[in-house]
Structure 1
């Protein structure tokens, strides 16, 4: 059981690292490929776009296939696409390879969340979800430093190393994971987009996914402008912002590892509600922090809350209907990336037109308050079994 947990952790770590990997390389690649700043961000956006679009297809398909095979093929393609990024000869080839990596990740990571309730007993689910989320948190903390360190020798090395490590992980998937045959529920035989009907027609599911969207939209809006706000207010260098991000990533990591204990002690409702209220207060206070240390200290709690809340939310969503876990997990991931895209774009407009980070922080606080409202009003926090039965009926 420990080996399976470690394997799922490593899958999410390498996928998460690849997500953050290109950020420190943008100035180098911009100069190498001779592209303007206005479009350089698409080397990041291509990955998110591929993920967001194809996750909607990958989920329903995976509910009718063996999850082990889907995870293995997805991770294998992900490793090859990442390695190909190191061979990119220009902007368009890099865009294509990043897009392919995003598609591959869309088939892989949702299987991780959907497989946990199958591979582990219910009593272990919260703990395993937290550890797997820690894989993403670790990538957030270490992805940028790893990319920067490897790129100091040559820009292509990060892609080769992460791709090779992902290839090794795909081999372990093939030999270590048991087969997870599809549930023969009639919904797994429906056309792809008809499998979303139980979610679209359920008030519980609609409100829960809307809460999930607002949660990610608010967090990523503020996340996108941490560096700029600290540079503008405290005149930090790029290296110093990197150290700040590393520290905040540790907060996410702490929340991921400690989330299971906190949920067990305070229950799901109190954990999510209390965490969101604290995060909302933190966002409101952030623009008025007088020093870098105070800013970091307050933001640490926001990241720690993210580490606790995200696996809790994914666990609640995937438990809505066991027969379509892949569909639910993929929809949740697609919504997360769509919220990331929209939140980052809106944050840029708000930052430029509404008093800088003050406006962004208020927007994030409102998103978290809205997310809490929809999660509570959906009933998923207080009546999970009833909610699941209603959705499955």
Structure 2
């Protein structure tokens, strides 16, 4: 009984640790958004270039995730996570010492590269460390870290930057380094499952995904989800300003509200999936969100908009851990590759979604066109999920196998 209690306690520590790691990575992603006006003035950057202080991070994460995943599948995941987290802490801390636009972009790029090595290890390590019955819950809690960062990243950055714009970077960097120390003393060795033959090359690790129709379909569906969601989110602030004349800080409160919905959904995800099944959860959730997005532009009250976005993001908070679980179960031997490819897919879809939504909003002078595009993307995602068979295949309805914890 003592050993069992000790194991439960250790699992609880891992859940909290993974939650906090995803929180700091997510917060660092959103951190620079409220600081752009201040940094523009500090570095004398024109508006058309200021976005690269955000884009440098996303670019580094998207590109290097494709390399980090296959490499990590041949290494001890603990070492990869620790190395990535330390580099992430240092590069984020250095952002606070940037002297001009180009040094800020450089440090943001390095932070994105470090995040590309760190975040996928969280998703890939959970199935290796947790018993099958706890995997869904652990994925939901880890995703909740991202949800909380979305809800709190903007106000935290704004509050800390009130005294000094460097303070948010120093705080996140220091806290990340502390998490690395905690991880060093608490995480066990997490050796990957090795193929029976010689270790494949980086490109070789993608072959099982590229040759699997189910894998291609699942990643395409994941792409469509982020394409639609990012399109609607990208111009939420402009629509709120145009439709309801909200200021930047008032729009920030709306974002906090939807972040709370995302958090609630992610914490409830495993329970909802268990009650309804993967198939019913995905189908019902997607259809409800599609209907909500199509109706959203015609809402005439800010309070109703807050409620609608809380509702939408609560459902998406349920669906995203389910999607991550489906991806991780595609091939247990290359979970790092899968998680990294998912990160690149998400960042690519986010970039394209923001670009398309800008064109639609400008062409039609309406958020309705953007939300219609979102609805079409989500409908396409649902159709691909259903047609791929990933929701109904025997491999995903049974209890998943886990990697040896080492």
Partner residue, 1:35: 45
The alignment status of 1:173 with 2:173, answered yes or no, reads no
Q: Which runs of 5+ in 2 are unaligned?
A: 1-10, 399-406
Displacement after TM superposition at 1:182 (Å): 2.3
Q: TM-score, normalised by structure 1?
A: 0.97
Quote the offset at 1:384 in angstroms: 4.6
2:109 is aligned to 99
Instruction: Answer yes or no: is the 8 Å Cα contact 1:204–1:387 preserved in 2.
Output: no
Q: Please list every run of 5 or more consecutive structure 1 residues that lacks an aligned counterpart in the other structure.
A: 389-393
Distance in 1 (alpha carbons) for counterparts of 2:397 and 2:206 = 16
* Correspondence 1:128-167 to 2 at 5 A: 128-167=138-177
Match of 1:327 in 2: 337
Aligned to 1:363: 373
Q: Any conservation in 2 of the 1:21–1:147 contact (CA below 8 Å)? A: yes
Match of 1:307 among 308, 317, 321: 317
Between the aligned partners of 1:364 and 1:175, the Cα distance in structure 2 is 44
Spell out, residue by residue over 1:334-380, the C-alpha distance to the aligned partner (whole angstroms, 9 max, x if none).
Answer: 10111111111111111101232111100100000000000010000
Q: Residue 125 of structure 2: SS of its match in structure 1?
A: helix
CA distance in 2, matches of 1:42, 1:348: 17
Cα deviation digits, residues 95-123 of structure 1 (max 9, x gap)? 00000000000000000000011100111
| Partner residue, 1:2 | 12
Aligned to 2:192: 182
Partner of 2:277: 267
Change (3 A) 1:188 1:296: farther
- Equivalent pairs, count: 388
One of 28, 31, 38 as aligned partner of 1:21: 31
Q: Is 1:316–1:384's contact at 8 Å kept on the other side of the alignment?
A: no
Return the alpha-carbon distance in structure 1 between the equivalents of residues 21 and 396 of structure 2. 33
2:235 is matched with which residue? Answer: 225
Question: 1:16-72 deviations in whole A, cap 9, x for unaligned?
Answer: 000000000000001111011011011111100000000000000000000000000
Q: Quote the residue 1:243 is aligned against.
A: 253
Matching of residue 64 in structure 1 with residue 74 in structure 2: yes
TM-score by length of structure 2 reads: 0.94
The structure 2 residue matched to 1:379, chosen from 377, 389, 393, is: 389
Q: Deviations over 1:270-290 (max 9, x none)?
A: 111111101100110011001
Q: 1:61 to 1:188 in 2, by over 3 A?
A: farther
- Aligned mates of 1:186, 1:287 — CA distance in 2: 54
Post-superposition offset of 1:181: 1.2
- Contact 1:204-1:380 within 8 A present in 2 as well: yes
Q: Is the 8 A contact 1:64 1:188 kept in 2?
A: no
Instruction: Tell me the residue number matched to 1:317.
Output: 327
Deviation for aligned residue 1:186: 4.4
The one of 114, 124, 132 equivalent to 1:122 is 132
Q: Which of residues 291, 306, 329 in structure 2 aligns to 1:281?
A: 291
SS at match of 1:180: coil
Counterpart of 1:340 in structure 2 is: 350
Counterpart position of 2:221: 211
1:305-352, Cα deviation, whole Å (9 max, x unpaired): 221111110111111111011111110111011111111111111110
| Distance in 2 separating the partners of 1:283 and 1:197 | 37
The answer to whether residue 263 in structure 2 is matched with residue 253 in structure 1 is: yes
* Partners of 1:134 and 1:188 in 2: CA distance: 38
